Amino acid sequence: MIPSPALAAWLADPSAQRASFDAVQASAAKWGRHPLMTQLERAIVELPEKSPEAILAAADVFMDKMGDVEGLFDDLIAGSRADPYFRPPIYPLSSEIHSGLLLFHNAHLSLALGVTGVDQLAAKKLAQRGVGSIGFNGLLTKFRYLKAGDAVLSFWEAPPITGDFVAAEAGKARFLEQRRIRDGDEVVIDGRYQSFVIEHATRDMVYFQAMVRQGGAPITAEYDRESLSFLSASSTDEASSRIQMMVSLLRVMEREDALPLMVEALDSPQFYTRWHVMREMLALDADGALPSLRRLAEADPHPEVRAAAAQTLRLFFEEAA
């Protein structure tokens, strides 16, 4: 890379780099101390019962103070104008058609300001050629549309996602209604059994999104738009996803000495994590994993895990089975 003269000068000037860094740190501290953030954090901590509905009500108070949110963004814009190397201390979010900024996040609630691009939405629709899927994110989510983009949404239901979810018994999704939304409208979706699809929009959509993690389903579920049948599922739990990643890494590294740690991970509350760990244990040390495999086949609380473990015993450990 050949830097521009301005970037080359900045890279050669430690004091300029320090000034940019200090500005980012000061902005992050101001953001964290702002009453918007501290009051929302305190409101959640002081809830007598942290139900998803109560947490969502606390998020409403934040979203009602749009003037304060705009004031915070004015400071970030001013910092960016003053220093091209200033980096706003906000986590960016992006997907195929959405982009946004994470304004608040803790173990119970994530609150973001997002944009759905009409051009990106049209490109995705064109690429799908009418074929797509309906996703159920497993979480209670509220959208407050600051700019609705004259969008039309279709609303869907599916059998609830529970802790003992079984793919073979997932059933089918069901169409409910189609509705045009306006600026200021709110849409609340219980992602354990509800979802919506953006069918059409004429302009970019700008919205607050409050996503409650408390009481959420253990997985997301995806259904085929044409057949309405279940397609796939994935984890909603960050800790479980990290456990799976680390266990896979230990297996790739051939760390047989880590087998006792993997046995401990079999106590995960998430059924898909328990089976993922079991698979990696078998790949790492089949004989060492056999006692744990027997335990899952006999006593795991989830029927699919018990069935998979029993089938593995029959196929690969016939004598032991």
- Per residue in 161-218, pLDDT (tens digit) is 988 888 888 899 999 999 999 999 999 999 999 999 999 999 999 999 999 988 888 8
In tens, the pLDDT along 260-283 reads 999 999 999 889 999 999 999 999
CB crowding 87-100: b at 16 or more within 10 Å, else e: ebbbeeeeeebbeb
Q: Indicate whether 5 pLDDT > 90.
A: no
Query: Whole-model pTM?
Result: 0.84
Largest Cα span, the chain: 73
Contact by Cβ (8 Å): 161, 189: no
List the chain domain ranges: 15-235, 238-316
Read off the pLDDT of each residue in 100-115 and give the average, rounded to a whole number: 94
- The residue among 144, 137, 140 whose CA lies nearest residue 190 is 140
Q: Where are the beta strands (DSSP E) in 89-218?
A: 91-94, 98-105, 109-116, 133-136, 140-147, 152-157, 174-180, 186-190, 194-200, 205-212
Least confident of 118-132, 159-173, 237-251, 272-286: 118-132
Beta bridge partners of 110: 105, 211
Contacts of 280 (CB under 8 A, 6+ apart): 247, 248, 250, 251, 262
What is 15-235's CATH number? Answer: 2.60.120.10
